[in-house]
Every structure is written in structure tokens, then in C-alpha cells.
Structure 1
């Protein structure tokens, strides 16, 4: 049984789901058990759900399935980002009917990455696969933010980090936790780009097992030993 990266709890807010750490210790691709377990737990009760996210990202296949399950869920889904929602975690966040982010929270979006082996034909297949994965991710971002696909693609190309105000301004979040109205939050400043220090701070939180799944950028760097 794989280590669970999610946990259900009851609180004054109601039914609450916590997503902490890397999403899926191993890829969900070809896994028939873990996605079913998550769905069973999600549907075990009715009512609204609050999801707290603090994750550097991980398996894009897991994120895609969780996103779909949450979008199809009958109750209201509210997402609260209390730390970081980067890479695949940002995709899950887009399933929130309302997305709130901590004043100190961060979001990051980037292009998907993978590891491939073989001849030029295999490399071309990998490139084509990554292109389709990127388009599927843009679908989720576009539906939530209303931004053009060209702008979203550019932001992903640049591996862009958003602080809370920028996330609200661009539509990735609807509001800032512990704050006032949306109009008070908007700012033309606040976008930042990743650097070695930020990525390095996430390295130890990610799984060590080698896979051929689509990887979070930090996992990819770790495999190549570029940041050790």
C-alpha cells in the first residue's frame, strides 16, 4: 500500500481534506487501487468539503484524477492554500469553487517534465506526450482563470511563482485568507520567478523512488543531481 498524501478530518468548518507533501509517492498511472481509495473516501459522506493544500507538486496523473473527482463532487469544494500549491498541486487547486490563499502562500505553474530513453523516435514521442499533458493542464487553468491559452502557456514556460495578491489578480485564487474584499487584494505587483534557493527548499520533501512518470520540476532536478 502506498503512503497516503491526504488525510480527512472533522473540524468546526465541517468536512476537511488535507493534502500535504508530494502528491503520490509513486505514479498513479496504471494504479487501480489508490485512485479508487481516494474516491471512496471522498464519496463516503455528503456535504461541502474544505481542502487545505500545502504541496510542492508531484504526479500529474494523480493530480488530474483528483481534479476530476473534485469537479464532479456534488457538494461545494473550497480550497485553502496555507503554504504552497506548486506544479501538480496547483492543478488540484483549480477544482475549488472558491480558492483562498494565505497572505504568505505561494502558487507555481510550469511546464510538465519527464525522463525518456531511446532513439529519436522515442524522444519525439516523449515531446508529443509532454505537449498534450501541457494542453490538458492549461484546460484546468483556463476554466478557472479565464486567461487566454497563450498567456497561460507563457506563464508555464517561464515557470512562474505567484504570491497571494498576484494569484488573485490573475484568477488562480478568489481571495486571500484573513483579508477583506477581492478589490482590496488586487495588485499589479507580486509575480516572481523561481530560483535555486526556492527549489532547493523543496527537495527534501519529495519522494526518492525513480519513476518514469511525468515529474515535478524539483523531482527532475533531483534525479539529475543538479542541486546537490
Structure 2
């Protein structure tokens, strides 16, 4: 019996999942996927992808786990953008005709002097090449072609992705649609430039938790008082505390002479 896996929302480290749950925001972690894989016991994994992306190292861990499992079928049902597009490369992949895929260069935040910036730039270039490997392995395209596609922040329809070999089939299509990716995507440079800018604005508007919010939530959790998980113990502790207070007050009254010893 097929085991269904959903890649939804932000792709985040395992330790950040509780924060997204608290805000009732969908997210996907490597632990989520690995737990599903362990429960599959050799059955088909049906992976549904609709995610704007997230942490590239988590995506790499998920990609590797799925790639190591021999029986994987992936469907891009909505958006496979950024790190989520890497996950879509992990096996046989079908894409809805109404879905989109987006690939771009790796992002980061950095502060410091020019040496820190140079170091960050080199790290990003290496990260780009690591991510590009997923597209090369899936499609057979060259590293230079993959990096150029990422440089251009490329948005693709299902037909575009199929023409590049990034997906194996467009869902619900009985026959292949003629036409090359290059001629289809770059037929009108001016129109496509406008579409690209609109797509960037839509991507930027996708709700996601900022690193600052995540850091504040972690800090608040670390500083929160420990909570007794056992309600009975918590009640007993409260009663004992009040009983001790009552005894202390009674002793005080005895010392004043307001209450006589029996």
C-alpha cells in the first residue's frame, strides 16, 4: 500500500518545527520525511510537493533520504520553488499542468567587513554548485547550464520543466506537447521580463517566519519556567505550598499570643 508524504510550507530544521506549529504554519522537516520512510517498509512512497522552499541543508537531507529509497514517485501539485525544487529531483517526478517550479541561487545573511563578505560569497558559490548537482543528475544538463538557470531565477511551467528533463511527465497529458523550453520561455523577452518580476513579487509575498521571529521564540522557550507535565503532581505541589504558608502564619499568631497552644 502506498505511503503518502507531503512536502508543505517551509522546509525547516527539526528544532524549528514547534515554532511553526505554534503559529499554525505548515512546514516540513527531515525528521518528518525519515519517519514516513521508515514506516514504508518497501512500499511505494508517493511524495506530494507544494512548498516555497527553505533551508538548503534540510532539503539536501530529504533529497538524499528519498534518493536512497528505491520506490519513490513525486508529484509537484502546486509550487516547487527554491529548496523544494531540489526535493522534486529525488525520483520519478510528475508535475501538474497548473503547477510551477522555480530555481535560483542560494541566499544567506552576513555581516562583517570585506573579508567576511568575500568568504560568504565563496560559500554561496559552492552551495550553488552543490544544489545544481540535483538538477544535473536528474536532467543530464551540464553544470554551467544549471548554474545559468539558477542565476536567472528561472520560473517554469510543467511543460518547461518537462522540456528540460527536470520532471518526467506532465500530469493528465496523454501526448507530449511539441516545443522547446528555450523558444517557449524566451519567445518574447519583454513579456517574460514582466512575468518574471511579477513572479518574484508573488514569491516574496509568501508567508514565512523570519529568522528574528524564530530566534525570539527560541529565547522565550529557553527562559520559560519549567512546567510540571503531571497535573496531579502540580496540584499536590500547590496544596503543599499553601499548607506550609498556613502553618507559618499559625506559628506567627501563636508567637503574638493571638492564638493559644492546645
Q: TM-score w.r.t. structure 1 length?
A: 0.76
Following TM superposition, by how much is the alpha carbon of 1:116 offset from its aligned partner in structure 2, in angstroms? 0.5
- Aligned residue in 2 for 1:201: 202
1:187 aligned residue (158, 179, 193): 179
Report whether the alignment pairs 1:17 with 2:15.
Answer: no
Q: What is the RMSD of the two structures over their aligned residues, measured on CA atoms?
A: 2.3
Choose 1 or 2 for highest CA Rg.
2
For 2:60, what is the secondary structure of its paired residue?
Answer: helix
State the Cα distance separating 1:93 from its structure 2 match. 0.3
**Kindly tell me: are residues 78 and 87 of structure 1, through their superposed partners in 2, closer, same or farther at Cα, counting changes over 3 Å?**
same
Secondary structure of the residue aligned to 2:76 is strand
Which secondary structure does the structure 1 equivalent of 2:97 belong to? coil
> Which residue is equivalent to 2:76?
81
In the other structure, the counterpart of 1:90 is 85
The verdict on how the C-alpha distance between 1:177 and 1:160 changes in structure 2, with shifts beyond 3 A counting, is same
* 1:154 has 2:148 as partner: yes
SS of residue matched to 2:47:
strand
How many residue pairs match? The answer is 191
Q: Deviations over 1:70-101 (max 9, x none)?
A: 01114x111101111011000000002x1100
- For 1:26 and 1:118, the matched residues in 2 are separated by 29
TM-score (norm 2): 0.67
The yes-or-no answer on 1:167 pairing with 2:146 is no
Residue aligning to 1:55 = 51
The separation in 2 between residues aligned to 1:167 and 1:143, in whole angstroms, is 14
Unaligned runs of 5+ in 2: 17-28, 186-191, 215-262
Rounded Cα–Cα distance in structure 2 between residues aligned with 1:186 and 1:211:
47
SS in 1 for 2:39: coil
The residue aligned with 2:38 is 43
Structure 1's unaligned 5+ residue stretches are 1-12, 29-33, 213-228
Could you give the per-residue CA deviations for residues 167-202 of structure 1, whole angstroms, max 9, x where no partner exists?
A: 100001110111114xx2342244356634323333
> Match for residue 239 of structure 2?
none
Query: Does the residue aligned with 1:124 lie in a helix, a strand or coil?
Result: helix
Residue 97 of structure 2 aligns with which residue? 103
Higher relative contact order, structure no. (Cα contacts within 8 Å, ≥ 6 residues apart):
1
Residue 31 of structure 1 aligns with which residue?
Answer: none
Distance in structure 1 (CA, Å) of the matches to 2:129 and 2:107? 13
Distance 1:90 1:187, change over 3 A: same
